[in-house]
A and B are shown apart, each in its own frame.
Chain A
């Protein structure tokens, strides 16, 4: 709770994927009832990662360091990595973005569209092959652009995909906002049967409207959160995109002695759509 307090007190900062330990029991309802709304979408922004080399700096900026510069060493979650912009940690190769977590020392990459692109509502999707192994924590997520002024969790956080490396068959989608952080986010997991997310690419997406957010894996809706589910609905303003791999921390625990490094999160594309005006 100490780290959370810090985050709340420092309006210029935001957390990563706030602490959300033991929160997945809250979503026991059957997902079989959910159906996609059939909304039609227009592509408005994307990175297809077709140009090999460094990450496109017209679309992404790098987060650097271990959070100390932001006043939250360990990024508020006791994470172990220091983020760099080095090609050892992020590079585009063969049409795929590769974020790489390394050990000795722990380094990794976190890229974001903050200040370059943000959007209110729409469909946000990415085609991702996850890393694996104990203590590895990949994520594809959104933060409210007003974090600089209102702080976290008031800004809101939409986790489209996060995963514990020791459970590579289970992806989680979550929502954090005022009243829904720490031990009580809104969250649901999606488990692959006889498969896992590090064996091949899977499409993770949300469809976000005025009063709802639907969570998808490979086109299947597995969670629907509406404004009625939360006390204060802060998801009605621009959010920016983040991709990262964290190492260790409260959510996944530390890597094991034989956790395999480097660990790579491969991203085939990130695409953002707006609802087609009828």
Chain B
């Protein structure tokens, strides 16, 4: 509510200023009798005030700091006032960047007699990568044009944003917009001032060089029914300062042509409809000048849709599917810099939305706001399609990440499950169905899926569809055992039992049964009148006895009862500290394929541990999820862990 109050206050302030100028400008117009349908007012903010902007013209971007803007009454390039933007710290909870459009609340303007938006600007510290433009109106954004690389220093300087094709701007509401973050300041806040924001006829902007597809000849392999958009529309201008100013511009400035409209058509908004089989080339002109670059569309005909999901929606949490209502998703491509190359070329074919990742190395889909509680969901389902060829060395890794109790990425409590797929799991040009049993114990804050190309495989391009969690209702893991393990039968004295944890025996003292946990938590649960150790988020834990040690030299067996929600492997390592407390030795054993959802008792001859362990001074028992380095993180229940003589 605080933000909104601030906003209102500012709007009122501005409103009062605007009223004054509205009248003066109206008079100017009638005197000049400019023969245009709409006023040709040039100024946005000039001479200390907004000019003819109406009252409700400040529209900040979603997720930006809404109240970052104010009128500074003590600083101006011309006069004493300026348009001030306080770019917030990156961790500002009210928004981590500043950005807004100024849209006239009133009559649109005819800007066709101008050739540039100009303004003066300075910053409290030098910054680059400031975006400034015009033509964004949150309506059609038809004539959006902006620079995104403005370098603004600490002294007032004039900036020029050329109008790509002035004759198009006969009815414009979006006269100014900006966006500024803290990428260049290490995340720290700074202030930007703008003044004398207006349109001008400079006459000195020249050499427009338009680009389509960033100047490349971009090839897209696609299908009948796919709707595409032109991309990479830019135009470079030469300014009299010698500056080469490149703008990102909306399709509305261009004229597009399809070399073969029976393959694909393209409209004035750059929307492409693929309607036939074959190849067509989309080209563009800007004000009669050929744009460099093209879009080459290879349509291979009818699209084969992913299999239609048949599972009951009540047992599904959908991340991406047209067949279910999707949960809120933050992004399907996080564009993680600086290492990610993966781009998105998602498409819609006959109403079916398909994710398409190109130039792939890794990419993530995040759904953290809110995260998904998949406690009662056993599997993750995906359909994946690799066009062309499946690389023989394909090593495709999917990581499913639970953000843990804190609900945010990182923080030391995240847990992840990794599943690797090989070339043999796929067939080219066909939808494969991946059904992944979820092994994560804690899945209350599922928030991220990462796809990775590992081991240098050559996969560059693939489609995904129908990404959802579901409960198969049959073998789905239960989180908690409902029974107790069978009570041990060894005689405490006769069998020289040394108990670590058991209701049946007297346990020896320990330093911790959850020492050096990597996110794992330990609680003792009473289930069926029996205490058990419950480890959550266990990848590995250490049961530490030092400074005491266990003398198991008389024992020849180890007993352990384990309950796991998945049929994973588990590794137990005995660490002996030696007589001097520092002559360490280790021996371990892998228990392969735990029983899923039921107690399993193991009686392990100690000679089965690799390298027949030293056991006179056992200081530590290490329990690890998975056979190698912790393969994954999950839940384990453990009971009746003791050494004995058989």
Contact = CB atoms under 8 A, between A and B. Distances in A.
Nearest to B242: A166
Interface stretch (B203-211, B515-523, B556-564): B203-211
B202 interface: yes
A67 interface: no
B571 interface: no
B238 interface: yes
Contacts of A260: 207, 209, 236, 238, 244
A166 B206 CA distance: 12
B489 interface: no
A194 B204 contact: yes
Contact of A258 (B206, B240, B241, B244): B244
Contact of A196 (B201, B209, B240, B244): B240
A260 B202 CA distance: 21
A36 interface: no
B204 A169 contact: yes
Interface residues of A, number: 18
A116 interface: no
B239 to A, nearest CB: 9
Contacts of A196: 203-204, 206, 240
A259 B209 CA distance: 13
Interface in B221-241: 236, 238, 240-241
Nearest to A258: B244
Given A260-B209, A260-B236, A195 B242 contact: no
Contacts of A60: none
A167 B242 CA distance: 6
Interface string A188-213: 00000111101100000000000000
A177 interface: no
Contact of A194 (B203, B207, B236, B238): B203
A193 B242 contact: no
B234 to A, nearest CB: 12
Contact of A132 (B202, B203, B238): B238
Interface in B242-260: 242, 244
A248 interface: no
A134 interface: yes
A199 B236 contact: no
A172 B202 CA distance: 21
B25 to A, nearest CB: 23
A194 B202 CA distance: 5
B203 A195 contact: yes
Contact of B206 (A134, A167, A168, A259): A168
A256 B239 CA distance: 13
A74 interface: no
B242 A165 contact: yes
A133 interface: yes
Contacts of A132: 206-207, 238
Contacts of B206: 132, 168, 196, 198-199
Given A258-B244, A259-B244, A260-B244, A193 B203 contact: yes
Nearest to B236: A260
A259 to B, nearest CB: 7
A128 to B, nearest CB: 15
Contacts of A165: 242
B242 A198 contact: no
Contact of A133 (B201, B202, B203, B238): B238
A259 B206 CA distance: 14
Main secondary structure of the interface of A (DSSP, over half): loop
A167 B238 CA distance: 10
Contacts of A195: 203-204
A258 B236 CA distance: 10
Nearest to B202: A194
A100 to B, nearest CB: 15
A237 B209 CA distance: 45
Contact of B241 (A166, A193, A259): A166
Interface string A239-278: 0000000000000000010111000000000000000000
Interface in B185-224: 201-204, 206-207, 209
A68 B27 CA distance: 67
A127 to B, nearest CB: 18
Nearest to A193: B203
Given A132-B206, A198-B207, A168 B240 contact: yes
Nearest to B241: A166
A260 B237 CA distance: 10
Interface in A146-170: 165-169
Contacts of A258: 244
- The CB with the most chain A CB atoms within 10 A, among B206, B236, B241, is that of B206
Nearest to B238: A132
Given A194-B203, A194-B204, A256 B242 contact: yes
B294 to A, nearest CB: 20
A3 B203 CA distance: 38
A133 B237 CA distance: 10
Nearest to A168: B240
Nearest to B240: A169
B526 to A, nearest CB: 71
A132 B208 CA distance: 12
A186 B206 CA distance: 30
A228 B576 CA distance: 106
B40 to A, nearest CB: 17
A263 B176 CA distance: 33
- The CB with the most chain B CB atoms within 10 A, among A167, A196, A258, is that of A196
Nearest to A253: B242
Given A260-B236, A260-B238, A133 B244 contact: yes
Nearest to B245: A258
Contacts of B207: 132, 198, 260
B238 to A, nearest CB: 5
B201 A167 contact: no
Nearest to B201: A194
A169 B242 CA distance: 11
Contacts of A199: 206
Interface in B20-74: none
Nearest to A199: B206
- The CB with the most chain A CB atoms within 10 A, among B201, B238, B242, is that of B242
30 contacts: A132-B206, A132-B238, A133-B242, A133-B244, A134-B242, A166-B241, A166-B242, A167-B240, A168-B204, A168-B206, A168-B238, A168-B240, A193-B203, A194-B201, A194-B202, A194-B203, A194-B204, A195-B204, A196-B203, A196-B204, A196-B206, A196-B240, A198-B206, A198-B238, A256-B244, A258-B244, A260-B207, A260-B209, A260-B236, A260-B238
Given A194-B202, A195-B204, 16 more contacts: A132-B206, A132-B207, A133-B244, A134-B242, A166-B240, A167-B242, A168-B204, A169-B240, A194-B203, A194-B204, A195-B203, A198-B207, A199-B206, A256-B242, A256-B244, A260-B244
Interface of B: 201-204, 206-207, 209, 236, 238, 240-242, 244
Complex A-B, nearest 7 residue pairs according to Cβ-Cβ distance, in ascending order: A194-B203, A166-B242, A134-B242, A258-B244, A199-B206, A195-B203, A132-B238
